[in-house]
């Protein structure tokens, strides 16, 4: 199929504000694609070139793409640069300079989806000293086969700035509509997506085998599974209501969640909560897995913690220094870590996610040989809220963040924030009522001491129903000088000219951002608010830290409603 058809679809999607219309447009289009085409279109709609756990990077700087545009169009670099200043989007510049004249003398072969994808993958493989030129050459040849509207999207794909407002769940719904019947029938697609977060692959299975093919998709070693998440309560007593009887109470570590995959071949891969491959950052853990996990293959989960000299846990920020590409060996000794294992999803090719937690813990105990950097999470079975409180306080004394209360007979619910796990953190037990993970959607220029930078941020909660980010508070407190200095670095890459269409706010910010950056804040009280799009406002919000979370994993409108207006 010609890429032109996809470009026209993208034009339509971009103009469409209603979620239902987006789904209908997408599902109608996906239905008629071949098995190979459908996966490519799904990836491109999501602004990617592969599944979310595969880091396929094109590595283009805006400057390089603008130069390529000048080469492909014959328009001078100076003119291209000045158009960029006026239009502010390289895609729009491409559309303008490469609007194909109707009377080309030599007919140009049009670009197919297959050729575009093959070209992009080729670009991602280019490395070495002349890589910038070699990548540009491929891009110029692709642009040479495009008309204006196609160029707009090829350039946005190259720069990673395709923002069609399509989230993974929109694709899940659209696939259900296209291949099963309606959005309501999405359970099977959703289940498959949680154990196999590769919507391109799921789409091609649906295309080739229909819904029956989905049941064969299970957790596989080497491919990450969406991680199970914990619910929260505002009062310790609520735990008893949600989970009557005996429960497992486990230390809540403030580190980095990791899913460890040990393959039959002996290869070990570590995935973060965002499903990024973080194996190279932890050679010490890879070595420990090889010697301390007594099974030929498995998927286990735990939390990586940085340890101080006295063996007490160090702050999450210290651990994050391990997020590096260079001098890893130095950091292995500078910041020693320990892996606290708490769950198992697969052992020796058998998927055990559907088994009760007590059973999974037995498997885990049987395969883990504690020692070195490998330990089992500390836990106890109890059935009394006072006992839980005492245990919680002893965990705080040990330097941990709190506890996670787990249902003994609960299964591992991939990608689900359910009542089988409930978190209880120290922030909840203090004077301030709660912490929230909010998404930065805008900023206000600073005054006085903060002049020249940002003075406050506009933050939102996520409404999973409408898939929109709704304003919730203006955040100025708790932003230390160090945080303020770093704000531009963290936020400016996401700056957009207008309020994005998946953002709603009655409060007008000076600057808008695509909803990507998540930060943890505390607050004293939730009140009703006519000016915030969420309908609620948080009083006395205070910045705590940036979070390595997806925006769609932030605190939801439903959670805010459940916490209630005080
Ligand atoms: P939160 O990030 O506040 O939603 O809390 C959930 C996170 O706590 C999980 O994603 C894990 O990274 C972390 N965690 C720490 N200790 C445990 C534990 N024992 N069981 C499950 N999750 C844990």
User: Measuring CA to CA, which residue among 480, 549, 553 is closest to residue 517?
Assistant: 549
Ligand 1 atom nearest residue 425's Cα: 3
Three-state SS for 123?
Answer: helix
Ligand 1 geometric centre to CA of 35 (Å): 38
Q: Are residues 386 and 452 in the same domain?
A: no
∠ CA 144-40-227, nearest 5°, is 140
User: Measuring CA to CA, which residue among 203, 154, 286, 156 is closest to residue 32?
Assistant: 203
Which member of 135, 152, 252, 468 is catalytic? 252
Whole-number pLDDT of residue 430 = 52
Q: Are residues 146 and 276 in the same domain?
A: no
Q: Please report whether residue 32 resides in a domain.
A: no
Whole-number pLDDT of residue 88 = 87
Ligand 1 atom nearest residue 553's Cα: 4
* CA-closest residue to ligand 1 atom 1: 230
Whole-number pLDDT of residue 103 = 45
- Which structural domain, as residue segments, surrounds residue 298? 229-425
User: Measuring CA to CA, which residue among 485, 482, 475 is closest to residue 518?
Assistant: 475
Q: Are residues 513 and 477 in the same domain?
A: yes
pLDDT tier at 489 (50, 70, 90 boundaries)? confident
Q: Are residues 305 and 415 in the same domain?
A: yes
Q: Are residues 352 and 409 in the same domain?
A: yes
* CA-closest residue to ligand 1 atom 12: 257
Ligand 1 geometric centre to CA of 37 (Å): 38
Element (H, E) at 9: helix 3-15
Look at residue 197 and tell me whether its pLDDT is greater than 50.
Answer: yes
Q: Please report whether residue 4 resides in a domain.
A: no
* CA-closest residue to ligand 1 atom 8: 252
Q: Are residues 269 and 382 in the same domain?
A: yes
Mutate to test the pocket of ligand 1, among 227, 248, 301, 303 (most ligand atoms within 8 A of CB): 303
pLDDT, tens digit, for every residue of 230-262? 999 877 778 888 999 899 999 999 999 999 999
Across the range 73-81, mean pLDDT stands at: 93
Q: What is the tally of structural domains in the chain? A: 3
Please state, for a pLDDT cut of 70, what percent of the chain lies above it. 97
Q: For residue 352, give both structure tokens.
A: 């055990």
User: Measuring CA to CA, which residue among 169, 151, 138, 165 is closest to residue 52?
Assistant: 169
Contacts of 513 (CB under 8 A, 6+ apart): 440, 441, 442, 443, 491, 494, 495, 496
User: Measuring CA to CA, which residue among 389, 417, 352 is closest to residue 247?
Assistant: 389
Mutate to test the pocket of ligand 1, among 254, 423, 434, 519 (most ligand atoms within 8 A of CB): 423
- DSSP structure string for 22-79: HHHHHHHHHHTS-HHHHHHHHHHHTT-SS-TTS-------HHHHHHHHHHHH---HHH
Across the range 267-273, mean pLDDT stands at: 96
Three-state SS for 540?
Answer: coil
Across the range 496-505, mean pLDDT stands at: 94
**How many other C-beta atoms are found inside a 10 Å radius of the C-beta of residue 566?**
10
In CATH, what number is assigned to the domain containing residue 55?
A: 1.10.3260.10
Last residue of a domain, one of 140, 159, 178: 159
When comparing pLDDT for 494 and 430, which is higher? Answer: 494
Q: How far apart are CA 457 and CA 444, in angstroms?
A: 6
- Is residue 546 within 8 Å of residue 517, measured between CB atoms? yes
Q: Please report whether residue 211 resides in a domain.
A: no
Q: Are residues 234 and 357 in the same domain?
A: yes
Ligand 1, CB cutoff 6 Å, lining residues = 229-230, 250-253, 257, 273, 303, 342, 377, 404, 423
Q: Are residues 394 and 288 in the same domain?
A: yes
Last residue of a domain, one of 364, 395, 425: 425
Q: Please report whether residue 167 resides in a domain.
A: no
Q: Please report whether residue 212 resides in a domain.
A: no
Q: Please report whether residue 7 resides in a domain.
A: no
Q: Are residues 148 and 53 in the same domain?
A: yes
Q: Are residues 417 and 298 in the same domain?
A: yes
- Is residue 535 within 8 Å of residue 500, measured between CB atoms? no
Mutate to test the pocket of ligand 1, among 232, 248, 257 (most ligand atoms within 8 A of CB): 257
Q: Are residues 384 and 353 in the same domain?
A: yes
User: Measuring CA to CA, which residue among 386, 385, 379 is closest to residue 358?
Assistant: 379
Across the range 40-56, mean pLDDT stands at: 93
Whole-number pLDDT of residue 100 = 58
Q: Are residues 243 and 387 in the same domain?
A: yes
In CATH, what number is assigned to the domain containing residue 547?
A: 2.40.50.140
pLDDT tier at 344 (50, 70, 90 boundaries)? very high
Across the range 298-316, mean pLDDT stands at: 90
pLDDT tier at 429 (50, 70, 90 boundaries)? low
Q: Please report whether residue 16 resides in a domain.
A: no
Ligand 1 atom nearest residue 547's Cα: 2
* CA-closest residue to ligand 1 atom 22: 252
Ligand 1 geometric centre to CA of 251 (Å): 9
Lowest mean pLDDT among 178-187, 198-207, 336-345: 178-187
In CATH, what number is assigned to the domain containing residue 247?
A: 3.30.470.30
Across the range 79-85, mean pLDDT stands at: 93
pLDDT, tens digit, for every residue of 359-398? 999 999 999 998 889 999 999 999 888 788 889 989 988 8
Q: How far apart are CA 156 and CA 45, in angstroms?
A: 11
Q: Please report whether residue 247 resides in a domain.
A: yes
Whole-number pLDDT of residue 540 = 74
Mark whether 334 is an active-site residue.
no
In the chain, % helix, strand, coil (3-state, to 5) comes to 40, 25, 35
* CA-closest residue to ligand 1 atom 16: 252
pLDDT, tens digit, for every residue of 111-152? 999 999 999 999 999 988 899 999 999 999 999 888 889 999
Across the range 149-165, mean pLDDT stands at: 91
Contacts of 234 (CB under 8 A, 6+ apart): 428, 433, 434, 563, 564
pLDDT tier at 108 (50, 70, 90 boundaries)? low
Q: Are strands 374-376 and 337-347 parallel, antiparallel or unpaired?
A: parallel
∠ CA 85-89-94, nearest 5°, is 100
Ligand 1 geometric centre to CA of 372 (Å): 22
Last residue of a domain, one of 376, 405, 425: 425
- Average pLDDT score over the chain: 91
Whole-number pLDDT of residue 428 = 61
């Amino acid at each position: 199929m010609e890429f032109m058809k996809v470009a026209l679809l993208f034009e339509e999607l971009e103009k469409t504000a209603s979620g239902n219309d987006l789904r209908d447009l997408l599902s109608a289009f996906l239905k008629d694609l071949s098995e190979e085409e459908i996966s490519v279109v799904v990836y491109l709609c999501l602004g990617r070139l592969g599944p979310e756990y595969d880091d396929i990077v094109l590595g283009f700087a805006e400057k390089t793409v603008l130069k390529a545009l000048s080469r492909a169009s014959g328009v001078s670099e100076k003119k291209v640069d000045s158009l960029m200043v006026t239009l502010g989007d390289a895609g729009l510049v491409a559309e303008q300079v490469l609007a194909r004249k109707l009377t080309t003398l030599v007919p140009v072969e049009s670009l197919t989806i297959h050729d575009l994808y093959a070209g992009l993958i080729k670009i991602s493989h280019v490395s070495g000293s002349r890589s910038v030129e070699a990548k540009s050459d491929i891009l110029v040849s692709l642009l040479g086969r495009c008309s204006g509207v196609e160029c707009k999207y090829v350039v946005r794909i190259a720069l990673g700035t395709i923002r069609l407002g399509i989230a993974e769940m929109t694709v899940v719904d659209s696939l259900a509509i296209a291949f099963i019947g309606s959005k309501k029938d999405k359970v099977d697609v959703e289940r498959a997506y949680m154990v196999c977060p590769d919507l391109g692959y799921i789409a091609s299975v649906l295309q080739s085998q229909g819904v029956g093919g989905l049941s064969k998709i299970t957790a596989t070693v080497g491919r990450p599974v969406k991680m199970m998440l914990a619910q929260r309560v505002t009062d310790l007593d609520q735990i008893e209501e949600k989970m009557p009887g005996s429960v497992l109470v486990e230390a809540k570590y403030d580190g980095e969640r990791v899913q460890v995959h040990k393959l039959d071949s002996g290869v070990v891969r570590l995935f973060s909560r965002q499903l990024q491959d973080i194996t190279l950052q932890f050679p010490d853990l890879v070595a420990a897995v090889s010697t301390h996990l007594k099974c030929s293959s498995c998927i286990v989960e735990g939390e990586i913690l940085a340890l101080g000299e006295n063996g007490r846990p160090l702050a999450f920020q210290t651990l994050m220094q391990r997020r590096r590409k260079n001098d890893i060996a130095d950091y292995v000794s500078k910041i020693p870590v320990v892996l606290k294992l708490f769950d198992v999803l697969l052992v020796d090719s058998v998927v055990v996610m559907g088994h009760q937690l007590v059973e999974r813990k037995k498997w885990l105990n049987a395969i883990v040989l504690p020692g070195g950097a490998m330990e089992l999470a500390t836990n106890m079975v109890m059935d009394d809220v006072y006992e839980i409180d005492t245990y919680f306080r002893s965990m705080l004394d040990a330097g941990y963040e709190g506890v996670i209360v787990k249902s003994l007979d609960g299964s591992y619910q991939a990608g689900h924030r359910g009542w089988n796990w409930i978190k209880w953190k120290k922030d909840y037990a203090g004077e301030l009522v709660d912490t929230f993970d909010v998404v930065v959607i805008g900023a206000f220029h600073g005054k006085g001491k903060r002049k020249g930078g940002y003075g406050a941020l506009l933050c939102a909660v996520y409404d999973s129903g409408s898939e929109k980010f709704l304003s919730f508070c203006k955040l100025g407190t708790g932003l230390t000088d160090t945080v303020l200095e770093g704000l531009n670095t963290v936020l400016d890459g996401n700056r957009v000219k207008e309020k994005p269409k998946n953002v709603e706010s009655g409060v007008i910010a000076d600057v808008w951002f695509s909803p990507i950056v998540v930060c943890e804040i505390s607050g004293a009280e939730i009140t009703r608010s006519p000016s915030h799009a969420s309908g609620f406002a948080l009083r006395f919000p205070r910045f705590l830290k940036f979070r390595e979370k997806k925006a769609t994993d932030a605190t939801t409108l439903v959670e805010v409603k459940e916490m209630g207006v005080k």
